[in-house]
Amino acid sequence: MKPKEFETTPPAFRHAASFSARPKADALIIPVWKGGKKVEFGASIGKLGTTLRHPMKSDEFSASKNECLHVFPSGQKESRIIIVGLGEEKKVDIEAIRSAFGHALQSISKKNVATVNVSVPQTSFLDEDDLLRGVSEGLLLADYQFEDYAQEKSKKSKIKYFTLVGPTPEAVKGLEKVRGIVRGVTLTQDLVNQNADDVTPQYLIDVSRALGDQFSSIHTSILNKKSLQEEGLGLLLAVGRGAAHEPALIVCRYKGDRSSKDHTVVVGKGVTYDTGGLDKKSNMITMKRDMAGAGACLGLLLAAATTKLKANFTVVIPTAENAIGAKSYKPGDVYKSFSGKSVEIGNTDAEGRLILADALSYACKRYKPDRLIDFATLTGAVVVALGHHVSGLMATDDKLAEDLILAGEKTYERVCRLPLVDAYLSELHSDIADIKNVGGREAGSIKAALFLREFIDDVPWAHLDIAGTASIPSRRDYIPKYATGVGVRLMMEYFENRSAS
351 vs 465 by CB, closer to Zn ion = 351
166 vs 247 by CB, closer to Zn ion = 247
Measured distance CA(429)–CA(100) in Å, rounded: 51
Contact 142/106 with Cβ under 8 angstroms? yes
123 vs 286 by CB, closer to ligand BES = 286
Closest CB 22 distance from Zn ion, rounded Å: 49
191 binds, among ligand BES, Zn ion, none (CB under 5 to 8 A by kind): none
Given 77, 209, 281, 410, which residue is catalytic?
Answer: 281
Binding to Zn ion by CB under 5 A, coded x per residue (else -) over 344-383, reads -----x-xx-------------------------------
115 vs 322 by CB, closer to ligand BES = 322
- Kindly state the DSSP code that residue 245 receives in the 8-state scheme: S
Given 241, 353, 436, 489, which residue is catalytic?
Answer: 353
* Residue 357 exposure: Cα atoms within 13 Å on the Cβ side: 33
- Which residues, 6+ apart, have CB-to-CB distance to 170 below 8 Å? none
Interface residue with Zn ion, options 274, 344, 374, 413 (CB under 5 A): 274
102 vs 352 by CB, closer to ligand BES = 352
347 binds, among Zn ion, ligand BES, none (CB under 5 to 8 A by kind): ligand BES
- Which residues, 6+ apart, have CB-to-CB distance to 319 below 8 Å? 201, 204, 205, 247, 248, 249, 250, 270, 271, 272, 291, 294, 355
Interface residue with Zn ion, options 257, 290, 321, 496 (CB under 5 A): 290
Dihedral (Cα; 483, 488, 491, 493), 10-degree rounding: -110
380 binds, among Zn ion, ligand BES, none (CB under 5 to 8 A by kind): ligand BES
438 binds, among ligand BES, Zn ion, none (CB under 5 to 8 A by kind): ligand BES
Does residue 353 carry a catalytic annotation?
yes
Measured distance CA(5)–CA(430) in Å, rounded: 44
85 binds, among ligand BES, Zn ion, none (CB under 5 to 8 A by kind): none
How big is the CA angle at 245 (ends 239 and 248), to the nearest 5 degrees?
60
Q: At what angle do helices 201-214 and 176-193 cross, to 10 degrees?
A: 160
- List residues near ligand BES by CB under 6 A: 274, 286, 290, 347, 349-352, 377-381, 383, 438, 444, 467
Does residue 281 carry a catalytic annotation?
yes
What does residue 240 show for φ and ψ, rounded to 5 degrees?
A: -85, 0
First to last CA, the chain: 42
Closest CA to 137 of 294, 320, 303, 361: 303
401 binds, among ligand BES, Zn ion, none (CB under 5 to 8 A by kind): none
Closest CB 378 distance from ligand BES, rounded Å: 6
Closest CA to 291 of 323, 314, 320: 320
Catalytic residues, by residue number, are 281, 353
Task: Kindly list the residues in this chain that would bind Zn ion in the complex (CB under 5 A).
Answer: 271, 274, 290, 349, 351-352
